[in-house]
Structure 1
């Protein structure tokens, strides 16, 4: 089996090239400066995978789509799924969208989640990828492009927005992480650590995740509504209303609260011992 990865010189492309090599595939790596061109990878491969920045994904797909035939399978590794899958369906190839729920610094897919959005493929195609990824220790979640993007508006959009908001608020207050070092608590350290981890990476990636998912604005509008309601309780000193809000969210989270406490206790203990 020959797999071509367009954008294979990037972090995620390199990680998945190793995944497919480990599965016994011949892998063709095509980047902007490689001897193998995008067109070469598209014409010569049984499986063609697009692994380029979100903002470039649809245009790259449209560039190589006319080169593909029904005997080939086209996939992508993008954080959004509706637009890339729609673009891939303009080809004659069989189509599956993928979203690795981790960054390339993970180094391996073991223990990680990969979301699959099959669009035009057969059961054998889906089983092939599930066996390949699960055989190397990953979990595969199957859904639709629409449901994927709806979930990513929360899992990525809301979460990343909250981290950026925390950092932006501290900056506007003139309080740096160094200023807080003598007062630090474990939970604060986790929250600022997540913000710092995000800020250490490429801003264009997070701009794309937040600005290019059409589901994100509605999520942030609800976040703003919740902020106004809860901050209103705090500003008024309405402890009863705050307690009702707190308990309503606890009920909504259900048994996850206990699990989260156990998991974060382990994380805190590791941080203390580090």
Structure 2
């Protein structure tokens, strides 16, 4: 067990607030949040929020969890890294949805890290009941803090997975980019016409959920370097389906549908 934990959280957005609030409930845990947007040094619940780097420097954390948006993650680490005199005694963490840049950052600075990706968020997940949701840990994460966060997430009945940095980004291109792209393409064809029927309504509900996400989050998912490959595969299937429809080739359609059935049923 870790004792007298001093955790610095970077970012006080939706996920940063959630982690600060929930982690502050743990006994012998002191938390400070660094948020550049905050104007004054203040207390929020059981933790302190500041935009003053001098206060951060005086805090001397044992663990730093970066909850900034993906586009700001490395810059946010850059704000903090030069303040840390003894990097060997601090573990760095992130919740980035794409890991390529943080992998390079940890390696270039020779840092101990705990990198994980909570596969839940305020838009789709019920933050009051996360049972059955998922979190992915990156292999090579520092063991003590890996066990600490594994125990922390177990209280919410989350499913724990482990992948390498590269395996994670490849999976995100498949598991997030593909449904996001599909929903955006569907939304691009939708207008205000009221359409009866459950199939359309279900697709519309999913599309609305995606579009309710922050633009930053959507860009994080879509700007994965592997997303373009997935778009190529989607386009290939669309062209094939277009050919089947234009030629009214029922036999070829049966082959195509059977292939899809094998994929999902």
Q: Could you tell me the TM-score, scaled by structure 2's length?
A: 0.84
Residues 10-48 of structure 1: per-residue CA shift (max 9 Å, x gap):
101011112212333222111111522474446521110
CA drift of 1:66 comes to 3.4
Q: CA 1:56 to 1:91, structure 2 compared with 1: closer, same or farther past 3 Å?
A: same
Q: Are the counterparts in 1 of residues 137 and 160 from structure 2 also a CA contact under 8 Å?
A: yes
Matched, 1:117 2:138: yes
Q: Does 1:79 align with 2:83?
A: no
| Among candidates 46, 52, 65, match of residue 68 of structure 2 | 52
Distance across 2 between alignment mates of 1:21 and 1:206: 29
For 1:266, the equivalent position in structure 2 comes to: none
Separation (CA, whole Å) in 2 of partners of 1:102 and 1:15: 12
Gaps of 5+ in 1: 258-274
Taking the aligned partners of 2:17 and 2:162, their CA distance within structure 1 comes to: 24
**3-state SS of the aligned residue for 2:115?**
strand
For the residues of structure 2 that align with 1:38 and 1:166, how far apart are their CA atoms? Answer: 45
Q: Give yes or no for contact 1:109–1:138 (8 Å, CA) kept in 2.
A: no
Distance 1:206 1:188 in 2: 23
Q: CA deviation at 1:220?
A: 0.8
Any residues of structure 2 matched to 1:95-174 within 5 Å, and which?
95-105=113-123, 106-108=126-128, 110-111=130-131, 112-119=133-140, 121=142, 123-170=143-190
Q: CA RMSD in A?
A: 2.0
Supply the distance in 1 between the matched residues of 2:150 and 2:66 (Cα, whole angstroms).
18
Residue 19 of structure 2: aligned partner = 16
Normalising by the residue count of structure 1, what TM-score does the alignment of the two structures yield? Answer: 0.81
Q: Which runs of 5+ in 2 are unaligned?
A: 42-49
